[in-house]
Structures are given as C-alpha cells and as structure tokens.
Structure 1
Amino acid sequence: MSAQDSLTNAAPMVLVDGSSYLYRAFHAIPPLTTSDGQPTNAARGVISMIRSLIGRYPNSPIVVIFDAKGKTFRDDMYSEYKAQRPPMPDDLRLQIEPIHRMIEAMGLPLVIIEGVEADDVIGTIAKQIGEEGREVVVSTGDKDMAQLVTDKVTLVNTMTDTVMDVEGVKEKFKIPPELIIDFLALMGDKVDNIPGVPGVGEKTALAMLQGIGSLEEIYARLDDIAPLGFRGSKTMAKKMEEHREMAELSYKLATIKCDVELPFDPHTLKNEEINKEALREWFTKLEFKTWLRDIDKAPASGTADDTVDNDDEPAPAANIDVEYDTVLDKDSFNAWLKKIEEAELVAFDTETTSLNYMAAELVGVSVSVEIGKAAYIPVAHDYEGAPEQLDRDWVLEQLKPWLEDDNQKKVGQHLKYDANVLNNYGITLRGIAYDTMLESYVLNSTATRHDMDSLASKFLGHTTVSFEEIAGKGAKQKTFNQIDLEQAAFYAAEDADITLRLHHAIMPKLEKEGDLINVLKDIELPLVPVLAKMEQTGALIDPDLLHAQSSEIAAKLQEIEIKAHEEAGQAFNLSSPKQLQEILFEKQGLPVIKKTPKGQPSTAEPILQELAEQYELPRLIMEHRSMSKLKSTYTDKLPEMLQKTGRIHTSYHQAITATGRLSSSDPNLQNIPIRTTEGRRIRQAFIAPEGYKLIAADYSQIELRIMAHLSQDKGLLDAFAHDVDVHKATAAEVFDTTVDEVTTEQRRRAKAINFGLIYGMSAFGLAKQLGIGRPEAQQYVQRYFERYPGVRTYMDNTRESAKEKGYVETIFGRRLYLPEIKARNAMMRQAAERTAINAPMQGSAADIIKRAMINMHNWLAETDLDVRMIMQVHDELIFEVAEKDLDAAQEKIVDIMQTSSEIDVPLLVEAGVGNNWDEAH
C-alpha cells in the first residue's frame, strides 16, 4: 500500500472549533457551578462534545483549536472587525484554563496560534490533509466554515447532531461551498461585524450569485443584474459600484486563511495517552461526578452528561442492540397485544398529524415492554405507495380495554397529550403510572429541558432520531402520515423504547431523594388526567366582543401614535429602536439610563418604563406597546383559536417553570392583565353558556400565608389566625399606630413591603416602587424585621441552607436547584439568593392549588351537580356551573380548596359568580 493509499484509507482527522463551542456551550447550558461557586457550564458543554466526538470517531486524531488572545490580521485590515462584540463574560473567562488543561489531560492536541483565528488554523490543516486524500471532519457550529467543505472535508455540529457535506451546503445555503465567501461578502455578517454591501440581504445576495456567479463575475457583469428581476434589481448595479471597496474588503474579511504558517507538521498530530491523574484532579475539582467513573475505562466513552448529577448512579449504556417490529397484520398485532397485557409496565406513545391535540389525527401507536424491544402499529400512513396497514378503528377497538384499564400500568413521555388524542376517539386513557417528562422535571426542574431528545442525551448518552430528520423543516415539513413507513416505524418504536429506558434511569434517582418521589406520585402524576379533562372541556368565548375590542384598540393605537408624533415633533416608527434612540436621546435629550453592547442608548422596556415615570413620550410609547401586544396576542388571536367544539382549548404545561407553577399556551391564560381596563375586557369575553354561570375562586394572599407558615413568625401567624387584614397589621407595626388608625396610604406602603420582601426586594427597590427616599425605605425594612423577626431569621437560614445544599424546598418537598447560589459574579449570586427566598413560597402555592385541583377532579367525577372545571390561572380556578347548582357548588368548591392542604395558618378562598370571567373575579 502506498503512502497516498494509507492516507486515503485512514480514519478521518477531526478538527474541533473550540472557540465556537466555547461560546455556544456557555449560552446553551444553564449556569452551573461547583459547591464553591466555580462556574462549569461551558466546561461541561465543551468536554461533553469532545467526549461525544471520541465515541463517534474512536480511531481518529481529534485536534482542538482555539482563538489566541489579542488582535489578528483582520483587525489590522478593518478596525471595526468584531468591534461590536461585548467583552467575554467573567464566568466564561474563568472556564477557559480548566477546559484547556482537561483537553491536554485527555491526550488531545491543543492548538492556539497567535495573530490568526481558530478558523484559519482549521482551514490550513483541512486544506493540507484533504488535498492529500484523507478525509477531514470539522466539528463546528459556525456557518462561515461552510466555505471549507469539499469532497474530502465535511462539517459536523455535535450540538445539533447534523453533518454537512457539499450537497448539504447546497441544500442549506442554496449555493455551493465555493460561493460561501461571496455570499458573506455581499450580505455581511453581523456577528463578526463584516459590513457587506448596504441594502443587500440574503435574498438579494442569492439572486445575484445564482443568476450571475461569484463576486468577481458580478462586478464584471453589472449590467446583467437588472434583468434578474429581484426587488431593487434595477438600482443594484449602481449600489454595487458605489460600495465596491466595501464588498472587496468584506470578501477578504470573510475568507478563511488556508496558508497559515504552522509551527508543526499536521501529519504528526495524534492522540496521546490519557493523563488519568490530571483528568481525575480536574473532574474532581469541577465536580463532574459521572465522568470520574469513566476515567479508568479509558479511552473516554463519549457519554453525554451535560447537567447536574443528583446521584452517583451510572447512566444506562447507549449502545443497546434493538429489535423494532412494524406491525402490519392481525397475527403480529395479537402477539404484541398479548405481550402488553401480560407486562408489568408498558411504554406507550402515539404518532399523530398535529401538535394541536384537538385537531390531531392518530397515525399510529408504539409500545415497548422490554429495553431494546418495541413495536410500531401504523394505521394511517397515506402517502402514495404506502403499504397496507391495519384499520385504525379496529386497532383502537382491540386496544381500548387495555388503554382504559387502571390496572394495566403505562409509562409515557408527556402522556397528557396522548390522553387528549385518544379522547378524540372515545377512549379514556387510564393506568398512567409514570411519565418520564415529569420524572425528570421533579428530579431537577432547572437542570435540562424535559423533552425526550434532551433527556435521552442527558440520562442515556443516546442521540435519538429527531422529527426534523425524517420529516424535514419549515414549510415543506411533512406530517407523520406522509413519512415513509420504514423511517416512521424506527422513529416511533425508538420513542417507546427510549421512554422505557428513561424511566429505568430516572426513577432510581428519584427514589433516593426522599420527598421528591412523593411530589411525583401524589401531585404531578395524579394531575395529568385533571389537566387533560380541563383541556378537553375548554372555555367559551364571545368572538364578537373581541372583534369589537380589536377595532377599538386599533383606533386608540392610532390616537396614541398621533400624540407621540406631536410630542416628538415629527413622524416616526414607534417600534424602531434606532428611531427611538435618535428622538428620545438626541433630539429630546432624555437621560441615558443604560447603553447597549454597541454603546447606543438602550430603549429596552424596563428603561422606557423608568423614563415613562417622568416623560410623556416614553409613556405614550409604553402605552402603545402594551395595547398593541394585547391586540395581537388576545383580541385578534383568540377568535381564530376556536376549535370544532366552538371553544378555545389551551395547553397546560407541567414541566416548564422552575418553581412548579403551571403555564399555558395557545392561548396563554396566565398573562391576561387584570389591572387594566383593556385586560379586564378580555376577561369579559370568557363567558358562561346559556343556563350557566362562571365561578372564579382564588386563594387570598396565599404566598404571605405560606411565609407565615415557613417563618413561624408569631406576628404573622397571629394576624392570619385572627383574620386580621395583614397589610393593615403590617402598617400598624411599621408606622407605629393602631390597626384602626392605619391610613389608605400606609396600607398601600405596607402591602408593597409585604410583597416586596417575599420577592427579595431591597430597600433601593422599595424606595423606587413607593417613590420615596432610600433612607426612608431602609427604615421601613428595618422596622418590619424588628416587628417580624421570624421573617428575617427564615430569610437568613434559607440563604445559608441554599448555599449548603444547592437547592430550596417547598412545604411538600419539591426542590428548586440554584446553580448560581455560589457564583462569583455578585449580581448572579444575589439573584439566586432572592430566588431562594421566594421559590419556596411560589412553589408551595403551586403545590397547594395542584392538590386542590386533584381533589376537585375526584369530586366532580362523583357529584350529581352540573359543574365543570375549565381554567386554572395562578392561584385561581374557574368553573362553569348550572344556575340551579350555584350555591351548593360554590360552597363545595371553596371547601375543597381550603382543606386540600393544611398549613399553620388558615387558607382563605374567595369565590365570585358572574356571566363572564371578569364579573366572577
């Protein structure tokens, strides 16, 4: 074999764009720290990616390249190059040295060359090695690298698990790799501050490159631009001529230098022996517990582990041999039906045509009874040439007894969705024993997203087939019924198999964490059918009322715009940050409160809100923004969201918020404002059907009551025990008066203190909210803590406990992990401390209403009263009740809410009745 043949047949050389992954990992992974406050998220992300590459390319040299400190030749060429980039965050800078040392300890070549960027070093090595016939894989998330792709050089993005060869570049960018530099030169690059040609965006650049060719060819044939017919084509030749120098400069800036003088021979780059002691030292220091176990199994396995470890249990192996069946005949179906009927636990999943559970049609179901073994039962793939499948109605008829059997235990990933889909076919899903999404969420709500792909990566070290891989993206994305059955079957069966594996991986962790298992079994899992029932019931709205309100808001928006133009002395776009900067700060001379990373005056919402307190124009702009958002989000959109039932059907999310509170979408019921006239009018559009009324019941001052329970402060406990107005009681204490003599203003201030302190507000924040001096606010706070010493003790103890444990808990044992509680950055640490104070109250309030909803659901299933629970918003439940049953229902609803949980002060529920939500509230 010749040397050339040897190179051609060798494993590919892998070149890692370390600088690209450094920033991406830092911003993609939630802030993580060690027990002594050392930030670790970027280090975890970069090393996890490298371990993944080692697993994928076990026989390849893996070379990691980083940018050097200081300027490069591009800065000499153009002083504004990358000038707009903010300075590197301190928490990222602290992680660079550990990352470099760990890479060296892993035995991998680490390359940093002064005066050039990592891209240039990668380009040079890739060119030399690729031209000699050996394949090169460039691991990066940087689109500029597409210019390096050849028949020997491919790109891999381990964060999205995508590979891009020559055809991939053409598909993604609509041009071949050799035109990527020209593309960047024409349209510029905001990230690197490459100017490009003014007025040339992506579509224009593509039109010229596809119609004429390279930048050089475009300048040789400027007269050929106008006939291309794109928008602005007639004047584009003149623009190109005017900005020729800028285009040529941009071309040079965008070109990756492939002739860097290397201080080594690229052919000598190879992986060395792992320095286990050094690696063990770093993994110990950074508290990468799972990876510590792998050190003695060298070479590194590439197992992904990118979030907080809750215990030392090893993740299940990712390389399991799988057997996935596609069930197309009745004999196979009956064999699998027998398996699931006899199994102790079955992973179950549906495949459908839509994420909208009300509109979704069932395309198939998948099941798994044993790790590595699963089956997909297709019933509605209807693309041309699709094989014959079992009849959907027949399959559901056979499965219905099993699906509705409480004793047949099922596990799924987000089973509430599957329950809703099955409900469309007259099936009530029962026997929901476990849900892997909820298992992960209860284990650690902040450690990762809780979708299957993320969980498989975290807990199994496994990369699942993504939906986009089999269905495509964007407007051309196929629905599941249009996907080739062979691809669809593997994807669906894998979903069931991975769900079963995840359950076996996560549950042992939960069972070791005390009360966490009770949070899952007593709150989150029983809540699934409750939420499913509410979603299926939906809420009635009055579209005509909303249409009328939309028209009125449109007229008001026009009035506000005219007033704003008059105030500014000229017409301008109220939504344009650039125009706002010019008018507010240059023409009107308003004070600059904060600047953007580019050094421009900020027009962000908090800034405008602050300016609006003193100046008319920012007030008008804020009013315009607020009303415009109401119109686009609610008054315009809600009527469009009516389903075939004539109602709107929101989706409640159990695994989104850090604290355990529910959120909702399509529509988002949690964000409809209640303090504005317009917000209340939107609530008026949520109506009761004829013969019914709405009851709105909500917990009164629940977080303050929880604070009294948690702090055991005698003053607060007494106030709630004797049903005293707690804000008046606080005012009496702080202002040294009697409860009867408290003025309205004193009560208002006391209310701000009560709520401000439980949200961790400082004296400075309180002063700002009340419009008083900081010394006066400090005096209020000091006096408050003197009168309520238990609150101060609770806050101090909570902060200390959070630092020690890394988390805080609700009354019922739910945990909120606080990775930034020991951060060296003071702002991040203080924010985590504020969260530590408030999260137990928010989380306990969430647990209390969830427990009430479960008990309410059980009562509704048994009662003869005509009552439906239709919405949950924060601390409030909304019901549709037949007029004949109003009194009995209201009494029972209040009783269930007040008695579902027991704390050391009474839980008070206030209930109202009305023809619409606003009236009832």
Structure 2
Amino acid sequence: MAAKYPLILVDGSGYLFRAYHALPKLTNSQGEPTGALIGVLAMLRKLIEQHQPDFIGVVFDAAGPTFRDALYPAYKATRPPMPADLRAQIAPLQEVIRAMGLPLLVIPGVEADDVIGTLATSAAAQGLRTLISTADKDMAQLVDDHVTLVNTMTDTLLDPDGVSAKFGVPPGLIVDYLSLVGDAADNVPGVPKCGEKTAAKWLKEYGDLDGVVANAGRITGKVGEHLRAALGQLPLARQLTTIKRDVALDLGPRDLIPAAPDTVALRHWYERLEARRLLATLDDAAGVLPTAPPASRPAADYDLVLTADAFADWVARLESADLFAFDTETTGLDYMSADLVGVSFAVAAGRAAYVPVAHCYPGAPDQLSRATVLARLQPLLEDQSRAKVGQNLKYDMSVLARHGVTLRGIAHDTMLESYVLDSTASRHDMDSLAKKYLDYDTVHFEDIAGKGAKQITFDQVPLEPAAHYAAEDADITLRLHQSLWPRLQATGRLAALYQAFEMPLVPVLSRMERTGVRIDPNLLAVQSGELAQRIHDLEQQAYDTAGRRFNLGSPKQIGEIFFQELGLPVLVKTPTGAPSTAEEVLAQLADQGHALPRLILEHRGLSKLRSTYTDKLPKMINPDTGRVHTSYHQAVAATGRLSSSDPNLQNIPIRTEEGRRIRQAFVAAPGYRILAADYSQIELRIMAHLSGDERLLAAFASGQDIHRATAAEVLGLSPEAVTTEQRRSAKAINFGLIYGMSAFGLARQLGIDRGAAQEYVDRYFARYPGVRAFMDRIRAQAREDRYVETLFGRRLYLTDIGHSNQARRAAAERTAINAPMQGTAADIIKRAMISLDGWIEQERPPVRMIMQVHDELVFEVVAEAVDAVRGRIRGDMERAAELAVPLVVDLGVGADWDQAH
C-alpha cells in the first residue's frame, strides 16, 4: 500500500529543543549529556514506523546568522544562550541520523523552516503529499491540500480545517496573524496588546493584514492606538514570519531517499550513549526504512596521457565512439585571453582521460605539445558528424577558436539540458548538477588550485590532481547527459525546443561574443568628465538645500537632515525604529515635491552610471581586437531571455539622455554602419495572439498605433481625437497588464487617484474581454499544472502558484501571465538569430551580428551594403514566428548605436 504521506520532513532543531525540555536530563557513565539525543531518536523511529514514507528529510538550523538577522539585527536577540548540555548533543545527534541512513539537511543562511517550506512546495508541484513533523506554529502557513503538520508528542494532525480551528484563521492568513501577534521568543515585533483572538477577529473582519492596515483608523481603544503606532513595523514582521519557499538547494524532494543504515556506526553510537533499547533495534534485519537499492556507480578509470602512443589510442577510441564528452582546461575564465592547458574526454561512464599540453610548474613532466595535440584532434573536433557533449561548450568553442580550431558537431550541452528541463532551478553548473542528479560530490577547482589571493592557475596545478579533476569533468558530463537527456525526451516539446533553439544558438553566441563591439573611449571620457561635473553640482545643490554639507552616501546623516532638520514626513521605519532613507522612500518623497530627495536620487543614478559604464567600459576594451566582448548567458533568466555580463548590455539606459549618450559610444568600424533591428511591441502582439481578442487582433492587423487604438477604445473616442496624454495612459496600461500591474500601480505611475485608475482598468477589460478571459484561463491552467508554457513549449514552473500566502500567490499569478509572452518573445528572437547567423555563415554577406539586447539585434554592416541587406534582416526576423498578427521590425542605421534608433 502506498504511503499516505510519501514525503516526511522533520524539524530536527524543533525535535531537539522539545526533547531537551520534556525529558529527564540523562547522562552516560562518562558524564556526557544524552537525554535529548535519545528522545529525538525515539521520536524519529516512532514517526517512521507509523508512516513508512518513501522519502524523508531531517532538517536542522545551521550555525551562524540568517537573512532574517540582516533584515532585523535584533531577531531572536532576547533568546538566552543555548544551554551547554544541549549544544553538546547536536553534533552527535546529527552523526547518528546520518548513520541511520536518513537524509540530513543543514543549510547556512536560512532557517530549517525555510528549507522545509522549499521542499514541501516543490513536492506539491510534483504531486507528492507531505507530512511536516513539527510543533512550530509558523509552519501552519505551509498547510494546504498537499501539506499536513503532525505534532508527534501529542499525535495531532493539522490540515487546513485544523489550522482554522486552532488559530481562528486559515493557513493563507497565518503570516498576517503572526505579524499582528508578534513572537516574543523570536523577538519579532507585532502589535502590543494584540492577542491571538484580537488578531483573528481583525483578520476575519478586514480580510487580511493589508485590510487591517487600511482600516487602522477605525479600530478604537488602546489596542487601536497600539496598532496605529505599529504600522511601520508590520511590513518587517511580515518579512520575518514568512517562510521562504525558494531556497537554493542541491536536491529536491525525490532525492531524499533513505539509505541502508550503517549498523557498525550505529552500534558505536548506541553503546556510547548507553542506549540499551536502541541497541536492541540493531537486531532487526529490516533497519529503519525500506530503502531503494543503491545506484550503480561505475568505477572511475582515468588516464593521464603523456605519450604519443597513449594519445593515439585515445584518438582511436574517440573516432569509434558514437558520442564522447569533451572539455578544455585553461589559464582563466576570459574566453578572449585564456590559453589552452589541456583537454579531457570520456567515451563511457567512468572511462575518461586527460591530455595536458601546457602545465609549466617547476619539475612538471614532459607533455605532448599543444600544437601536436590540436593538429591531431582538429579533424575530429571540426567534424560535424562526430557527436560531442559538454558542459557550457560555448566557452570551449571560443577558447578553441583562439587556437585555430572550429568546434563542430555539438550534439548536447548538459548545462542547457538542465536549464530547459527546469529553468527555475537555481544553478546549472556541473558540480550542482552532479550532486542533484547523480548524488556525486565532484572535486572542485578550489580543492586543487586553492582559494582567494593564493589561488593558482590551472597550468600550475600538478599533473596528478589536475588529471583526475579534468577527466572527472568529462566523465561526469557524460553521465549527466545520460541522466538528463531521457528526462527531456520524456517531454517531447522540451526536447524539441532544446534541439531547435538552445543548441543551435551556442555557436551563434560564441561568434557574436568573439566579434564584439567597437567602443569610442574618448567619447566616454568626455561624458565621464561631464558626469563628474554634474555630480559635483548636484552635491552643491544638495548642500544648499540642506543648509549644510553632509555625506550624500550616509543614511544616518540623510535621516538627520530629512526628519530632524527639514521635517520631512516619515514614510517607513527601519527595523530599529529609525526613519528609513531607502531608495523607494526617497522616490516617494521626491514624488511629493521635496527637492532634496530628488537631488540625492539623481546624484546616486549619475554616480552609478559613471562607475558602471563611462568609467568602466574603456577599461574593458580588448587590446588585441580594440573591441568590448560581453558574455551572453543562456541558462540564467527563467523565462528564456538571454542575459549578459562584463559588460551587462541589457541594462544600458535608453530613455534618458545619459543612456543615449553611452549608446553613442558604441560605434561602427571605419567603412561600416550600425544597423539596429528591433521588434515592435512584440509582447503585446503575442498577447493578441494568445488571447485571441478580436479588437486587439483587428488593431494590429490594420497597422494601427496600438496605444492610440487602445485609448480610443477605452475612452470611446476616434483615434484622431486621442491626446498625447491619453495615449500615454493607454501605453501604461497596455504594458502594465503584461507585468500584472494593479490599479494601485497604474494610479501611481499616471499620477491619478486609485478610483480613476480602477475605472480605466475596468473599461479596458470591458472593451477587450478576450484579454481578461486569457488571464483567467492562464491562472487556472497554472494552478492545475504548476507551470506555464511559451508558444514553442518552453516551461516555467511556478512553485508559489498554490501558496497559502496571498501576496506570493498573486506574484506567481502575475508571472504566469507574463512568462508566456516574455518567453515566447525570447524564443522568437533566438530563432531569428539562428536564421540570420546561418545566412551570414553560408553566404558571407558584409554583415556582422554584434549584439542582442532584449527585443533588438544589432549589426555592423559595410556602408555600401546597408540597402542590400536590410530587407533580408527584416524578413528573417519577421518570419521567425507565425502569429495571428504580423510581427513588425523597426530598422535604423547610423554611425553609432544611438543614431541607429
């Protein structure tokens, strides 16, 4: 019979504290404390025998501060120090739990609650029912149809009805309830004198915490006064009491498979504890839990190749392999300067080799030369019919290109397999994937090269550890592919997307990165100087406005001037009770017309612009190419969009004068022009396609200005009668809906009252009922499937879509609406890039694709060829997808990037 709760998550820290305070203070004959430890083990055994789960995890708080301490330094400050006899039992208890074969989790930076919340949420998304064993009332916020709490000391279960009966509010309001009541044990501020019944009464009357806050003026008596005085603290209390559900973990709920108990270790511990009853259990052949058979792990057979004969043998193996894993080792991470130090291969699980070519530490053995190895491998590496697999092969491709080798036949990339399988997973690096999918702990680079200032480059690492590290990389890459590829194939649309979009994009991005973009450092130097002067002028204006000099980077000094000297209104308080000067507070004060906050905000913005771009970009010019070379990342953004770094091209401002001037420094080479091709309103067009709204489709089909058409529809005007201000309002709602903007957000953006904004939204949906129907449909589908898809089948998983916390659930719903549009737009531009790169590679027109920024592709084109190629570029981009409305591309040409807009 299947377990009612396939997954059990145990609050190990809670178990230990409860056992310590509930049971006698026992010691063994050596005087070591044992009572709490033995009590926890008894509770664990009872829990497991009663429920017989398929998966189980015992979770403890890690030592050291968590993110909540950063939010609120006084968090848990009132707790007395842990008793020494309790602290002494933690490490032995965890050793015994490991020996029992139970998965143990101790994650730094978060609390056990957060780890449990993350695993329970992930399990629910996978259809697993979870039983959380705890007495912590905070955990009641996790309860839903998939998650139940159990208190093993009282044998009571809490389902959603049980939570409502116990606390007077349903699970979805537990965070709000705790925020009002506070928690003396954790020193979480709440509303003084607000007890459990009062909190439940308020929430029942006003709906949720936001409703209580909105109606604070209506609550009479002393408790009403306390509530109004505590309003500034309630957002902090909500943050502190909300359990995180997105902790970055290296394993998921189905990885929590109990192992066979280590009876030798258990006997040692039970004898040391002098626990006779536990010793007696070792005679039970069944052990603690039924366990899955241990996964077979092939023995590692790695070769260090130093001779021509050994190398020839390996080349023959590669030539006869249907697929082999390939990896490079280099002197650094910069693909434009890294030198090749060695190459590694794997032809079967556990069978791999490393060929060093440039280790140069004192006493290093003779190695085959780089030229010899590359000359022999080049035909194989450049053979399109020889299938290769790697981890982040774009980097290897770029490094090999520096050495005259064009890597072809890239069949698979494990980083991208993992990313397409689940883009919301926090990490797709090989070490994390090995642990997650193979339960394998790899040798890390720091293990062989050191850390920090003492870290050496790979060419200085001795050959023996270098060979194991490099060969293991290839071996694990091959094993990961053997695990990940069948998972992708099981979901045919994901496999098709991976093969049609992500894999063909790898060489495209490598070529774009290596081509780079030309920068005018002199223009940036002039702008830097001008920015420095403006920053200085802003400082002087700020001093004049404040009436004295002060440090514009000091929150303390700013707070003194704002609230003590100028008497500005206090909008938000910090956890310590001081008035906040955070950026959002400055923005609100500036919106209210206060000059000094506006000056400080402008000062900060220009200072960041100068340090990030005008000062930094000239230093990033490659001395060999005279160009800046960014790195594009395929496996970062959950929606499928590309990101970039060093420099981050996606964040260069476009709507400000300063941002446009930075773009003026992105210039064409002599004899060339910059051609910028930008999809026009692509996400709105995708919305029209997905929603099928008749009026929206008609507006795009007739080529109308969509924002003017929207204003005309909503306001009942002719398009010609729409004013510039009315068009601006329509544009705000058109794009705001895509990102889930509320009437409140629209009111703030447009500077109108909330009622007027809500009326505008209502009229919009009345005129575009297909859009409302689409939004309702996608929310319902997301709640059912726990994911949404793009037009081409890319998935984005939504772990919070069924969250009991209304704010988190609403955020997931906004993502559900936006992700199909943003993700489809990302897929379309990727398809266009692949098509255009194929044309450039095959026909060799005088065109270079040099940048991708959001919905825009940027090219460098020989001046005389601009007219000849612009039609091809526009055509390939507009044909990248068949939608119910036409895709439209705006093209611009100029001597620099700004001029091309």
Note whether the superposition's TM-score is higher than 0.5.
yes
Match runs of 1:610-649 below 5 Å:
610-614=588-592, 615-643=594-622, 644-649=624-629
CA distance in 1, matches of 2:82, 2:406: 57
Any residues of structure 2 matched to 1:601-750 within 5 Å, and which?
A: 601-614=579-592, 615-643=594-622, 644-750=624-730
Q: In the comparison of the two structures, how many residue pairs are matched?
A: 687
1: CA distance between counterparts of 2:699 and 2:440? 55
Amino acid at match of 1:688: A
Distance (whole Å) between structure 2 residues aligned to residue 862 and residue 803 of structure 1: 46
CA contact (8 A) 1:100 1:110 kept: no
For residue 553 of structure 2, what is the aligned residue in structure 1? Answer: 575
Deviation for aligned residue 1:101: 5.8
Q: Does 1:542 align with 2:520?
A: yes
Matched, 1:268 2:275: yes
CA distance in 1, matches of 2:706, 2:274: 76
Alignment match, 2:890: 910
Give the counterpart of 1:424 among 399, 402, 406: 402
Equivalent-residue separation in structure 2 for 1:746 and 1:831 (angstroms): 28
Tell me, in whole angstroms, the C-alpha distance in 2 between the residues paired with 1:634 and 1:661.
Answer: 22
**2:466 corresponds to:** 488
Q: Share of identical aligned residues, percent? A: 57
After superposition, give the CA deviation of every residue in 1:489-511 in whole Å (9 maximum; x if it has no partner): 11111110110011011111111
How large is the RMSD of aligned CA atoms in angstroms?
3.5
Q: Distance in 2 between matches of 1:353 and 1:669?
A: 26
Matched with 2:377 is 399
How do 1:868-887 and structure 2 match up within 5 A? Answer: 868-887=848-867
Separation in 2, partners of 1:890, 1:110:
59
Counterpart contact for 1:328–1:390, Cα < 8 Å: yes
* Conserved? CA contact 1:65–1:122, under 8 Å: no
Secondary structure of the 1:515 match is helix
Question: Which amino acid in the other structure matches residue 628 of structure 1?
Answer: S
Does residue 297 in structure 1 map to residue 261 in structure 2? no
Match runs of 1:362-373 below 5 Å? 362-373=340-351
Query: In structure 1, what is the equivalent of residue 478 of structure 2?
Result: 500
Aligned with residue 443 of structure 1, among 410, 421, 439: 421
Measured in 1, the distance between the counterparts of 2:532 and 2:836 equals 41
Structure 1 residue 70, shift from structure 2 partner: 13
**Separation of aligned partners in 1, 2:849 and 2:560:** 51
| Distance in 1, Cα, partners of 2:886 & 2:423 | 29
What displacement does 1:565 show?
1.9
Q: Kindly indicate whether the alpha-carbon contact (under 8 Å) linking 1:318 and 1:461 is maintained by their aligned counterparts in 2.
A: no
SS in 2 for 1:387: coil
Call closer, same or farther: CA 1:66–1:417 in 2, change over 3 Å: farther
The reply on whether 1:412 has 2:419 as its aligned counterpart is no
- Residue type of the alignment partner of 1:403: L
For 1:436, the aligned partner's letter is T
Change (3 A) 1:625 1:295: farther
User: Are the aligned partners of 1:371 and 1:497 in contact in 2 as well (CA < 8 Å)?
Assistant: yes
Segment of structure 1 superposing worse, 594-603 or 339-348: 594-603
Work out the CA distance in 1 between the residues paired with 2:661 and 2:309.
59
- Checking the alignment, whether the CA contact within 8 Å between 2:708 and 2:722 is kept in structure 1 is yes
Q: Which residue of 2 aligns with 1:433?
A: 411
Partner Cα separation in structure 2 for residue 377 and residue 99 of structure 1: 51
Is the 2:621–2:627 contact (alpha carbons within 8 Å) kept by the matching residues of 1? Answer: yes
Asked whether the 8 Å contact 1:381–1:482 carries over to 2, the reply is: yes
CA distance in 2, matches of 1:728, 1:365: 59
Q: Offset of 1:862 from its aligned partner?
A: 2.2
Deviation at 1:802, TM superposition (A): 0.4
Pair 1:870–1:142, CA change in 2 (3 A): closer
Bigger mean CA deviation after superposition, 785-794 or 565-574: 565-574
* Equivalent pair of 1:68/1:117 in contact (CA under 8 Å): no
Offset of residue 901 of structure 1:
1.4
What secondary structure is seen at the aligned counterpart in 1 of 2:651? coil
Give the match for residue 561 of structure 1: 539
User: Would the aligned equivalents of 2:59 and 2:105 in 1 still touch at CA under 8 Å?
Assistant: no
Measured after TM superposition, the shift of residue 592 of structure 1 is 2.9
Q: Deviations over 1:331-383 (max 9, x none)?
A: 11010001111101111000111111001010111100100111011111111
2:777 matched residue in structure 1: 797
2:803 paired with 1:823: yes
**SS of aligned partner of 2:653:** coil
The amino acid across from 1:622 in the alignment is: L
| Structure 2 Cα separation of the partners of residues 412 and 804 of structure 1 | 35
What secondary structure, in the 3-state scheme, does the structure 2 residue paired with 1:592 have? Answer: coil
2: distance between equivalents of 1:409 and 1:700? 39
Q: In structure 2, what is the Cα distance between the partners aligned to 1:723 and 1:339?
A: 60
Distance 1:766 1:903 in 2: 29
Aligned match of 1:765 in 726, 730, 745?
745
- In the alignment, the residues of structure 1 paired with residue 771 and residue 46 of structure 2 have an alpha-carbon distance, to the nearest angstrom, of 46
Distance in 2, matches of 1:907 and 1:272, equals 74
- Once the two structures are TM-superposed, the CA of residue 625 in structure 1 deviates from its matched residue by 1.1
Secondary structure at the aligned position of 1:670 is classed as: helix
CA–CA distance in structure 2, aligned partners of residues 784 and 272 of structure 1: 72
Deviates more, 1:446-455 or 1:906-915: 446-455
Indicate the residue corresponding to 1:32 in structure 2.
Answer: none
SS at match of 2:492: coil
* 1:120 pairs with 2:70: no
Task: Answer whether contact 2:60 2:106 (CA < 8 A) is retained.
Answer: no
> Secondary structure at the residue paired with 1:833?
helix
Counterparts of 1:850 and 1:594, CA distance in 2: 43
Q: Could you tell me whether the CA contact under 8 Å between 2:740 and 2:817 is conserved in 1?
A: yes
Q: Which runs of 5+ in 1 are unaligned?
A: 1-35, 51-62, 72-96, 144-191, 194-263, 280-293, 302-316
Distance 1:69 1:896, change over 3 A: farther
In 1, distance between residues paired with 2:900 and 2:310? 55
What is aligned with 1:840? 820
Q: For residues 355 and 92 of structure 2, what CA distance do their matches in structure 1 show? A: 51
**Matched position secondary structure for 2:898:** helix
Task: Kindly provide the amino acid, as one letter, of the partner of residue 473 in structure 2.
Answer: D
SS, match of residue 429 in structure 1 = coil
The equivalences for 1:96-245 within 5 A come to 120-121=84-85, 123-125=87-89
What SS class does the counterpart of residue 355 from structure 1 fall into? coil
1:887-918 Cα shifts (integer Å, max 9, x gaps): 01111111111012111110000000000000
Q: Mark the CA change 1:692 to 1:580 in structure 2 (over 3 Å): closer, same or farther.
A: same
> In the alignment, does 2:438 pair up with 1:460?
yes
One-letter identity of the residue aligned with 2:481: H
Q: Which runs of 5+ in 2 are unaligned?
A: 22-42, 62-77, 110-185, 188-270
Label 1:804 to 1:586 Cα distance change in 2 as closer, same or farther (>3 A).
farther
Give the alignment's TM-score, normalised by structure 2: 0.72
Matched, 1:889 2:869: yes
Q: 2:802·2:809 contact (CA, 8 Å) conserved in 1? A: yes
So what's the TM-score if we normalise by structure 1?
0.70
1:851 matches 2:831 = yes
1:150-202 deviation digits (Å, cap 9, x = unpaired): xxxxxxxxxxxxxxxxxxxxxxxxxxxxxxxxxxxxxxxxxx99xxxxxxxxx
Inter-partner Cα distance in structure 2 for 1:70 and 1:705: 62
Q: Secondary structure at the match of 2:442?
A: coil
What is residue 350 of structure 1 aligned with on the other side?
Answer: 328
| Residue type at the aligned position of 1:378 | P
1:681 CA displacement = 0.7
Matching residue's letter, 1:742: V
Q: Select 2:298's aligned residue among 305, 309, 320.
A: 320
Distance apart, 1:569 and its partner CA = 2.2
